[in-house]
Amino acid sequence: MKKTPHAPADLPRNRILQGDCIAQMNALPAGSVDLVFADPPYNLQLRGDLHRPDNSRVDAVDDDWDRFDSFKAYDTFTHAWLTAARRVLKPNGAIWVIGSYHNIFRVGAALQDAGFWVLNDVIWRKSNPMPNFRGKRLTNAHETLIWASRGEGAKYTFNYEALKALNDDVQMRSDWVIPLCTGHERLKDEKGDKAHPTQKPEALLHRVIVGTTNAGDVVLDPFFGTGTTGAVARKLGRDFIGIERDAGYIKAAQARLDKVRPYDASAIEVTRAKRAEPRVPFGQLVERGLLRPGETLVSPRNKAAKVRADGTLIADNVKGSIHQVGAALEGAPSCNGWTYWSFRREGKTVPIDVLRQQIRAELS
């Protein structure tokens, strides 16, 4: 394990400090940590209760620590902790911050104002997000991470080859598909409820720490929660410093950390992306102009249907998906629209599945 040069000997490595993160960071020596990973409060502004269509209630984040009086109050808080974080960072250190549309724009602007230099924004695409139950907006299926160096022109650690290896030897992109933290990985309290409302998946931290730190580096998390950052750092042979206000979270985090063995390979396996044949909605053929709204599709027995702008078909009295309309015209319980419908090009009849293959080829 490489020892990081210039790290003060009195740094509280692998300890959780209880208290306000700004005060605690200011008590650490300046220029002493290699990476800050921060998952600050998102400042969600929820109005009433929300129920699923089955009438069960959504267990929302309504904790006191997520409440701010105004954007201005949130900005003041953000500027303060970012300034403190920048002070404890080594000159060649870097920061990661995660957030949602509620707070990430304010965090990003504050980062830039504080002198950090944005290197990438990274999208955590959730493979299994909570849907939008009322159909009033898009499914909120991602969160945003910002990766920034300490300032313009500053050096930073980037393990290009390691990330490429994690990604089947293809250059790592700025969008990462990772599932939510559920199942056995999710910490539970004595009652069996989730120990923390927003525990992050270890796979996410794995990628951050492998990609932007070296073994022996010190990773500081000022909003430590139940300690995902610390657990992954230890597994990967890095040291951590955690700061957390809530004694209950600290207790859960410490119990978790006591069980961690470095160089556990299990997290690496989690990170590997599943390779499945990408689903191509018929609507994409319309959006991409491969089929024109208003264009006519024909069936094997020469029944016709017209393509609409939303990727549905209309024929005689039937409207719906390529599968539904096909089934209705055939009087069948189901129908594979991809093989059923064809379009006309230059006098020839071409199955629409050809267009799907074309898109799949682009995607791979």
Partner DNA sequence: ATGACTATTGAATCTGCTG
Partner DNA sequence: TCAGCAGATTCAATAGTCA
User: What residues numbered 12-51 form the site for DNA, per CB under 7 A?
Assistant: 39-51
> Is-contact 335 323, C-beta < 8 A?
yes
Chain positions 278 to 337 lying near DNA, rule: CB under 7 A, are: 279-282, 320-324, 334-337
State which amino acid sits at residue 107.
Answer: V
* Distance between CA atoms of residues 94 and 117, nearest Å: 9
Find the part of the chain contacting DNA (CB under 7 A) among 20-28, 83-91, 162-170, 261-269.
162-170
* 12/179 with CB nearer DNA: 179
> How distant, in Å, are the alpha carbons of 145, 210, 214, 221, 271 from that of 236?
21, 8, 9, 16, 13
* Distance between CA atoms of residues 124 and 133, nearest Å: 21
Per-residue x/- marks for DNA, 255-274, CB under 7 A?
Answer: ------------------xx
* 9/363 with CB nearer a second copy: 363
> Is-contact 359 287, C-beta < 8 A?
no
Chain positions 202 to 261 lying near DNA, rule: CB under 7 A, are: none
In three-state secondary structure terms, 344 is strand
* Distance between CA atoms of residues 68 and 75, nearest Å: 10
> Is-contact 118 112, C-beta < 8 A?
yes
CB atoms within 10 A of CB 98: 23
Q: Is residue 53 involved in binding DNA (CB under 7 A)? A: yes
For the bound state, the minimum distance from the C-beta of residue 60 to DNA, rounded and expressed in Å, comes to: 3
Q: Is residue 360 involved in binding a second copy (CB under 8 A)? A: no
How far does Cα 309 stand from its chain's mean position? 31
Per-residue x/- marks for a second copy, 18-37, CB under 8 A?
Answer: --------------------
Find the part of the chain contacting a second copy (CB under 8 A) among 1-9, 151-159, 217-225, 239-247.
151-159
Binding a second copy (rule: CB under 8 A), the pick from 271, 297, 343, 355 is 271
Hey, what are 46's tokens? 């929820």
> Is-contact 185 204, C-beta < 8 A?
no
Q: Is residue 135 involved in binding DNA (CB under 7 A)? A: yes
For the bound state, the minimum distance from the C-beta of residue 100 to a second copy, rounded and expressed in Å, comes to: 8
Find the part of the chain contacting a second copy (CB under 8 A) among 88-96, 123-131, 189-197, 297-305.
123-131
> Is-contact 22 84, C-beta < 8 A?
yes
Find the part of the chain contacting a second copy (CB under 8 A) among 21-29, 31-39, 86-94, 204-212.
204-212
Residue 347 partner contact from DNA, a second copy, none using kind-dependent CB cut-offs of 5 to 8 Å: none
> Is-contact 334 323, C-beta < 8 A?
yes
Q: Is residue 81 involved in binding DNA (CB under 7 A)? A: no
Residue 199 partner contact from a second copy, DNA, none using kind-dependent CB cut-offs of 5 to 8 Å: DNA
Find the part of the chain contacting a second copy (CB under 8 A) among 11-19, 120-128, 219-227, 249-257.
120-128
Residue 255 partner contact from DNA, a second copy, none using kind-dependent CB cut-offs of 5 to 8 Å: none
**To 5 degrees, how large is the angle CA 334–CA 337–CA 338?**
135
